[in-house]
Chain A
Amino acid sequence: MTGPASVELASVVKEYPGHRALDGVDLRIEPGEFVALLGPSGCGKTTALRTIAGLESIDGGGIRIDGEDVAAKPTNKRDIGMVFQSYSLFPHLTVAQNVEFGLRMRRVAGPERTARATEALELVGLGAFGGRYAHQLSGGQQQRVALARALVTRPRVLLLDEPLSALDAKVRTSLRDEIRRIQTELGITTLFVTHDQEEALAVADRVAVMRQGRIEQIGTPEQLYRTPATAFVADFVGLSNRLPAHLTDGVVAFQDVRLPLLGDPQPDGPVEALVRPEDLVLGEEGLRGTVIASSFLGSVRRTQVRLDDGAVVSVQHDVEQAPAAGDEVRLRIRATAVSASAAAVSASAVA
């Protein structure tokens, strides 16, 4: 291993017949950084990761790992570690042999190979499972072994292609935290592809949101959540209420509330203002509405309110406040600025 490397995608284009999967993707991952590539199905995030791995060729642009152009390099020469969405352990080999596979390819001598494989398995908490076969492990354990197998060669870059999506919710959360712990411990440059915004926000140093083959916005989880550059990002990352509003000179107005517009300037006209549920406060003044339902979510409560103009919004508040269906309430907006999307048709709460 030569230490963590930077990864750079420069205007990468990937075309399939009748469809452009990557439409000029620019992305730089700093050495040791953990970047999540987030987006809906078909947005090109997995394709982007696969081009870095060399599993897909590119039709334009360049890919550099540690400053070296690797676009023409085959996968097996790129010195990467990869964990796949589907279980990818070799069924005919034991767990230990699976982990040793990459070391064998690098002609690492027997005793060192065994020692490093054991160390990698201990890192993922499966030190005692070396003699088992993949079919004797649970899904979570298989993905841990796959992680150990990807890390044991001490690759320059770790690529994770939705490694948690086949797992159940509880295992997913614990393995997610473990991936982050191990990544921090090893300081390895990591790209993590996911469609789960909660997952992306929880583990990554920075998150890149993709849409239709392009990166819509890249920033820290806080930046994406608090200052989304576009309505798509605001909508995709976290929950947003859509309120019918009007945009004039960069100011979004709905009823008697006026807030500056976040992100890129937009033409004046009717828009939908995107307001987070926690930016709406139940109080004595503000927008009038009637409670439809209220759900207890553990540490917070979420209440659906139908505003007088017909829009239904979701409000997140303390559990101490427990409004009942039918209650008349007032809503104050706490946000200091909002995102907005053009062409408002009807107002609704978006989950």
Chain B
Amino acid sequence: MTPSRTTRWAILGLVGLIFAVPIAAMTEFTLRRGLEGGHDLSRWITLFTGQLDGGYRQVWVGLGNSVVLAIVTVLLVLVLLVPTMLLIRLRFPRLMPVLEFVCLLPITIPAIVLVIGLATVYGVVARMLGSGVWTLALAYGVLVLPFAFRAVQANLQAVDVQTLTEAARSLGASWPTVVVRVLLPNLRRGMLAASFIAVAVVLGEFTIASLLNRTNLQTALVVVSKNDPFTAVIFALLALLFAFLLLLVIGRVGSGRRPGRTS
């Protein structure tokens, strides 16, 4: 039975409220004028007019690092996960449940537990690849696997990959052509969704970066919040807004607007 319109709006309103209250509280907090009371936009204006002093430099460094990490993580997902999933789907379909299990594992393991293992691994990584900030993306690649896998898998299931591949092969296409001209264009939505989710996860990640002593947006915000909690909350709100916009884009892309059916 479909719930009535009123029930639906009530549920939506309640859920909305649960999310809105902390965000509204954060926003209100950033507008406070301190001990003298009242509200104004002075902190937002200071931030957007570039008048912050050197103490906030770390936030920009953290933001830069997070952007680098997001890009490398997305590349890892697209270059490693998508071809692996395609290969398994086409040639070794029986291995799909195994891949699914492996990809979903990170969601069941708390980040703190992951870090204990990663600390040892990063000893080796640092010796082989140096300790550049981008190396953290190797851990993030693991962290985003469950989300990226689901996004690509949903797309893979919606497309008859096997038949499209066989049709293209029968028409004379080589394997690289099949992948580039037939499969990837049809997996575009899944890959975009996986990429956006990866970006959202990376921008919000704190535990691993903090425990491995790396600076990213979240760790920088924590440092800043110790001196100026108001500005840190502004940054947190902005990061939240960015992630929200990203998810909105995924929704748009995922709905895949097409011309109507004619027959």
How many A-B pairs have beta carbons closer than 8 Å: the answer is 78
A281–B173 alpha-carbon span in the complex (Å): 58
Q: Is B259 located at the chain interface by the 8 A CB criterion? A: yes
The answer to whether A86 and B160 touch across the interface, beta carbons within 8 angstroms, is yes
Binds A, one of B74-82, B163-171, B201-209: B163-171
The answer to whether B185 and A76 touch across the interface, beta carbons within 8 angstroms, is no
The answer to whether A153 and B258 touch across the interface, beta carbons within 8 angstroms, is no
Q: Is A184 located at the chain interface by the 8 A CB criterion? A: no
Give the distance to chain A from B169, nearest Cβ to Cβ, in Å.
4
Contacts of B51 in A (CB 8 A): none
Q: Is A106 located at the chain interface by the 8 A CB criterion? A: yes
A53–B171 alpha-carbon span in the complex (Å): 11
Contacts of A82 in B (CB 8 A): 166-167, 170
Question: Which of A75, A135, A149 makes the CB contact (< 8 A) with B166?
Answer: A75
Give the distance to chain A from B7, nearest Cβ to Cβ, in Å.
34
Q: Is B157 located at the chain interface by the 8 A CB criterion? A: no
User: What 1/0 flags go to A209-248 for Cβ under 8 Å of B?
Assistant: 0000000000000000000000000000000000000000
Contacts of B160 in A (CB 8 A): 86-88
Contacts of A84 in B (CB 8 A): 163, 166-167
A171–B258 alpha-carbon span in the complex (Å): 26
Range of interface residues on A (Cβ < 8 Å): 35 or more
A12–B182 alpha-carbon span in the complex (Å): 32
Give the distance to chain A from B164, nearest Cβ to Cβ, in Å.
6
Contacts of B159 in A (CB 8 A): 91
Residue of B nearest to A102 (CB): B171
User: What 1/0 flags go to B135-162 for Cβ under 8 Å of A?
Assistant: 0000000000000000000000001100
Question: Which of A53, A92, A133 makes the CB contact (< 8 A) with B185?
Answer: A92
Q: Is B54 located at the chain interface by the 8 A CB criterion? A: no
Q: Is A137 located at the chain interface by the 8 A CB criterion? A: yes
Q: Is A207 located at the chain interface by the 8 A CB criterion? A: no
Question: Which of A90, A132, A141 makes the CB contact (< 8 A) with B167?
Answer: A90
Contacts of B168 in A (CB 8 A): 90, 101
Contacts of A138 in B (CB 8 A): 263
Most buried by B among A54, A55, A75, A132: A75
The answer to whether A106 and B163 touch across the interface, beta carbons within 8 angstroms, is no
Which of A73-100 touch B at CB < 8 Å?
74-77, 79-82, 84, 86-92
The answer to whether A105 and B163 touch across the interface, beta carbons within 8 angstroms, is no
A199–B14 alpha-carbon span in the complex (Å): 60
Using A86-B160, A136-B261, A136-B263 as known contacts, say yes or no to A153 and B171 having CB atoms under 8 A apart: yes
Q: Is A150 located at the chain interface by the 8 A CB criterion? A: yes
Using A84-B167, A88-B166 as known contacts, say yes or no to A76 and B172 having CB atoms under 8 A apart: yes
User: What 1/0 flags go to A14-25 for Cβ under 8 Å of B?
Assistant: 000000000000
User: What 1/0 flags go to B222-263 for Cβ under 8 Å of A?
Assistant: 000000000000000000000000000000000000111111
Question: Which of B177, B186, B260 makes the CB contact (< 8 A) with A105?
Answer: B177
Residue of A nearest to B169 (CB): A75
Contacts of B182 in A (CB 8 A): 90
Contacts of B174 in A (CB 8 A): 76
A92–B167 alpha-carbon span in the complex (Å): 14
The answer to whether B259 and A92 touch across the interface, beta carbons within 8 angstroms, is no
Which of A296-310 touch B at CB < 8 Å?
none
The answer to whether B166 and A132 touch across the interface, beta carbons within 8 angstroms, is no
The answer to whether A150 and B170 touch across the interface, beta carbons within 8 angstroms, is yes
The answer to whether B186 and A91 touch across the interface, beta carbons within 8 angstroms, is yes
Contacts of B170 in A (CB 8 A): 53, 55, 75-76, 80-82, 150, 159
**Chain B interface (Cβ < 8 Å from any Cβ of A):** 159-160, 163-164, 166-174, 177, 182, 185-186, 188, 258-263
**Chain A interface (Cβ < 8 Å from any Cβ of B):** 53-55, 74-77, 79-82, 84, 86-92, 101-102, 105-106, 132-133, 135-138, 141, 146, 149-150, 153, 159
**What are 19 A-B contacts with C-beta separation under 8 Å?**
A53-B170, A55-B166, A75-B166, A76-B174, A77-B172, A86-B163, A87-B163, A88-B163, A88-B164, A88-B167, A90-B182, A90-B186, A92-B186, A101-B168, A101-B173, A133-B258, A138-B263, A146-B167, A150-B171
Extra pairs beyond A75-B169, A137-B263, A153-B172 (12, CB < 8 Å): A76-B170, A76-B172, A76-B173, A76-B174, A87-B163, A88-B160, A90-B164, A90-B182, A102-B171, A105-B171, A105-B177, A146-B167
Which 8 residue pairs across A and B have the least CB separation, nearest first?
A105-B172, A102-B171, A82-B170, A88-B167, A75-B169, A92-B185, A138-B263, A88-B163
